[in-house]
Amino acid sequence: MTADALLEQLRSRLLAERLNGHWIGGLASSALSTAVAVVALHRAGNLCDREAVLSGLHWLAEHQNPDGSWGDTVISIGNISTTVLAWAACGYAGRTDADARAAEVRAAAWITTRAGGLEPQQLVTAIEQRYGDDRTFAVPILTLCAIAGRLGRDPWRWVRPLPFEFAAFPRAWFRFLDLQVVSYALPALIAVGQVRFHRRTPRNPFAFLVRWLTRPRTLRRLRGIQPSSGGYLEAVPLTGFVVMSLVDGGNASHQVTEKGLAFLRHSRRADGSWPIDENLATWVTTLSVNALAAGGPVSSQMEAAERERVLRWLLDQQGKRVHPYTGAAPGAWAWTDLPGGVPDADDTAGALIALHHLAPERDEVRRAAEAGLAWLCGVQNRDGGIPTFCRGWGALEFDRSAPDLTAHALLAFHHWRPLLRGVLASQIDRAQKKALRYLHRSQRTDGSWVPLWFGNQHVDGDRNPTYATARVVSALALAEPTGEARRRGEAWLVSNQRLDGGWGGGGASPASIEETGLALEALAQSIAISASVVERGLAALQRLTNAGTTLTPAPIGFYFAKLWYFERLYPFIFATAAAGRIVARASRP
Asked if 69 and 79 count as a contact pair (C-beta separation under 8 A), the reply is: yes
**pLDDT at residue 395 above 70?**
no
Non-local CB neighbours of 138 within 8 Å, separated by 6+ positions: 127, 128, 130, 131, 160
Model confidence at 182: pLDDT above 80: no
CA trace torsion 238, 243, 245, 248 (10° rounding): -160
Nearest CA-CA partner of 65 in 122, 111, 33: 111
Q: Residue 527 in 3-state DSSP?
A: coil
First vs last C-alpha separation in the chain: 23
The band of 93, judged by pLDDT with boundaries at 50, 70 and 90, is very high
pLDDT bin (cut points 50, 70, 90) of residue 135 is confident
Q: Where in the chain is the domain with CATH 1.50.10.20?
A: 3-26+279-587, 30-275
Average pLDDT score over residue span 196-207: 94
SS3 of 203, please? coil
Q: Answer whether 28's CB lies under 8 Å from 566's CB.
A: yes
The residues that bridge with 567 in the sheet, in sequence order, are 27
Rg (alpha carbons) of the chain, rounded to whole number: 24
Helices (H), 162-250: 186-199, 205-224, 236-248
Angle between helices 98-115 and 50-62 (to 10 degrees): 50
Lowest mean pLDDT among 295-299, 322-326, 476-480: 322-326
At residue 176, the pLDDT reads 56
Q: Which residues contact 373 (CB under 8 A, 6 or more apart)?
A: 352, 412, 413, 416, 420, 424, 427, 428
How far is it, in rounded angstroms, from Cα 449 to Cα 468? Answer: 5
Kindly report the backbone phi and psi dihedral angles of residue 402, in degrees, each rounded to the nearest multiple of 5, phi listed first: -140, 140
On average, the pLDDT of the chain sits at 95
- Say if residue 196's pLDDT is above 80: yes
Q: Answer for the pair 56, 106: CB distance below 8 angstroms, yes or no.
A: no
Q: What is the pLDDT of residue 588?
A: 76
Lowest-pLDDT choice from 12-21, 178-187, 208-217, 258-267: 178-187
Q: What is the pLDDT of residues 24-54, one digit of tens each?
A: 999 999 999 999 999 999 999 999 999 999 9
Mean pLDDT of 57-71: 98
- Counting residues of the chain whose pLDDT is more than 70, the rounded percentage is 96
Beta bridge partners of 393: none
The pLDDT score that the predictor gives to residue 185 is 83
* Inter-axis angle of helices 403-416 and 345-358, nearest 10: 30
Whether the pLDDT of residue 396 is over 80: the answer is: no
**Which of 1.10.600.10, 1.20.870.10, 1.50.10.20, 1.10.1240.10 is the CATH number of 3-26+279-587?**
1.50.10.20
Task: Name which residue leads in pLDDT, 136 or 14.
Answer: 14
Among 360, 343, 398, 384, smallest CA distance to 182 is for 398
CATH no. for 30-275: 1.50.10.20
- Alpha carbon distance 575, 172 (integer Å): 42
What are 499-542's pLDDT values in tens digits?
Answer: 999 999 998 899 999 999 999 999 999 999 999 999 999 999 99
180 pLDDT exceeds 60?
Answer: no
Q: How far is CA 368 from CA 268, 403, 507, in A?
A: 35, 25, 41
DSSP characters over 74-125: TTSPP-HHHHHHHHHHHHHH-TT-HHHHHHHHHHHHHHHHHHSSSSHHHHHH
Answer yes or no: are the C-beta atoms of 31 and 88 closer than 8 Å.
no
Q: What's the pLDDT band for 561 if we cut at 50, 70, 90?
A: low
Strand partners, 275: 29
Q: How far apart are CA 559 and CA 337, in angstroms?
A: 17
Inform me whether the pLDDT recorded for 178 exceeds 60. Answer: no
Q: Which of 443, 565, 466, 462 is nearest to 132 (CA)?
A: 462
Instruction: Find the mean pLDDT for residues 356-366.
Output: 97
Residue 478 pLDDT: 96
Q: Is residue 68 helix, strand or coil?
A: coil
pLDDT at 109 over 80: yes
pLDDT confidence of residue 391: 83
**Would you state the pLDDT for residue 148?**
98
